[in-house]
């Protein structure tokens, strides 16, 4: 099969299309003929040498795919060869075939074409698991950064379904307009003094829940903005991994800051995440309450261009690689 291989850590040009062996499903796994693969910021980190796959996972980049079941490992039931599916992976998505534990494979969202579906499960799983974990409730104020991206666009819509007041940050005006178009009550430019704007918007109450892909860069601002009993869920480190935290301020607010990652979770936990997303998020997509964001597609052979486009910051929605 053909796959994108990282020749060495570096820029997008290290991504090369090469012939490699087609994997075979072990017991409890399925082989998927890939139709499309989602591109995520974690992929950029892996390409740069900063985010290696968990033990036993493929070294090939790619955390989510859509496709068709091509073969079943022993002990696998509930699937037939040729059925459409999406999968949450530990790696291996930038290829023509991939194997995945059967628990991490689910039917695509109803009514969503397979190319679009390739960019759904990772973002939906990240948003659902984290907002469930911190307990976002109706009437609370919710903040998400990168509202025009893959995760941000799902977070805005899911928080609105819950009944929260949603604040999103983004960059240029077209991205701010997009955040408003999908339900953000307030969309702010991260280039402006967004913390001061949030204090004004909330009349000093602050933010009850923050979904944070930035990390250290915004740590002090977030602590200042957290409301009493506020909760922050760190899901990324785009702004650095080490910062200074005023624990006294955290205690006075009775607030909490937690962090999580999907990729490193045990297979059983990932299987439960996939089951819960199919049960709770797919119906919201089917009903139109959550709409998959716009997609920009590149052929698999142009993975380097896809990475460069994501790094440029120009994209709105999801970037997807299509596999001929």
Render pLDDT for 224-278 as a digit per residue (tens, 0 to 9): 999 999 999 999 888 777 888 888 888 999 999 999 889 989 999 999 999 999 9
Percent of the chain with pLDDT over 90: 90
Separation CA 162–CA 173 (nearest Å)? 27
Q: Are residues 110 and 73 in the same domain?
A: yes
205 lies in the same domain as 163? yes
Residues 311 and 283 in one domain: yes
Cβ atoms within 10 A of the Cβ of 228, count? Answer: 11
Cite the beta strand spans of the chain per DSSP E.
Answer: 2-6, 15-19, 29-39, 64-72, 84-88, 97-101, 105-106, 141-144, 165-170, 186-189, 207-212, 226-234, 256-259, 295-299, 318-322
- 131 and 243 both lie in a single domain: yes
Same domain, 128 and 254: yes
Q: Which domain CATH number covers 89?
A: 3.90.180.10
Beta strands, E only, 149-198: 165-170, 186-189
As a whole number of angstroms, the longest Cα–Cα distance in the chain is: 59
Residues 6+ apart with CB under 8 A from 4: 15, 16, 17, 18, 60, 61, 62, 94, 95, 300, 303
Over pLDDT 70: what percentage of the chain?
Answer: 100
240 shares a domain with 132: yes
Phi and psi at residue 189, in whole multiples of 5°? -85, 130
Q: Are residues 99 and 23 in the same domain?
A: yes
Domain span including residue 143? 124-259
Q: Residue 187 is part of a domain; what is its CATH number?
A: 3.40.50.720
Is the domain of 149 the same as that of 254? yes
**Do both 60 and 170 map to the same domain?**
no
Residues 252 and 159 in one domain: yes
Prediction pTM value: 0.94
């Amino acid at each position: 099969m053909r796959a994108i291989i990282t020749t060495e850590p570096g820029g997008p040009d290290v991504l090369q299309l090469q012939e490699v062996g087609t994997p075979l499903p072990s017991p409890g796994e399925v082989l998927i003929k890939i139709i499309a693969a989602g591109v995520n910021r974690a992929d950029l980190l892996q390409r740069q040498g900063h985010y290696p796959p968990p033990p036993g996972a493929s070294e090939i980049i790619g955390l989510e795919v859509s496709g068709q079941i091509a073969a079943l490992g022993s002990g696998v039931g509930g699937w037939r060869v040729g059925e459409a599916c999406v999968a949450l992976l530990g790696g291996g998505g930038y290829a023509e075939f991939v194997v995945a534990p059967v628990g991490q494979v689910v039917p695509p969202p109803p009514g969503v074409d397979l190319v679009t579906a390739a960019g759904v499960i990772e973002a939906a799983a990240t948003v659902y698991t984290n907002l469930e974990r911190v307990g976002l409730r109706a009437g609370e104020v919710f903040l998400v950064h990168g509202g025009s991206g893959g995760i941000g666009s799902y977070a805005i819509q899911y928080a609105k379904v819950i009944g929260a007041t949603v604040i999103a940050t983004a960059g240029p005006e077209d991205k701010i307009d997009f955040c408003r178009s999908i339900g953000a009550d307030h969309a702010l430019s991260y280039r402006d003094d967004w913390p001061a704007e949030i204090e004004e918007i909330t009349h000093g109450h602050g933010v009850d829940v923050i979904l944070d892909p930035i990390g250290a860069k915004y740590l002090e601002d977030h602590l200042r903005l957290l409301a009493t009993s506020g909760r922050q869920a760190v899901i990324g480190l785009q702004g650095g991994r080490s910062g200074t935290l005023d624990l006294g301020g955290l205690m006075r607010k009775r607030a909490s800051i937690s962090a999580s990652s999907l990729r490193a979770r045990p297979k059983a936990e990932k299987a439960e995440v996939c089951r819960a997303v199919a049960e709770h998020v797919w119906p919201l997509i089917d009903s139109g309450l959550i709409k998959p964001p716009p997609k920009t597609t590149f052929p698999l052979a142009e993975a380097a261009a896809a990475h460069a486009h994501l790094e440029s910051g120009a994209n709105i929605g999801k970037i997807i690689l299509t596999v001929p």
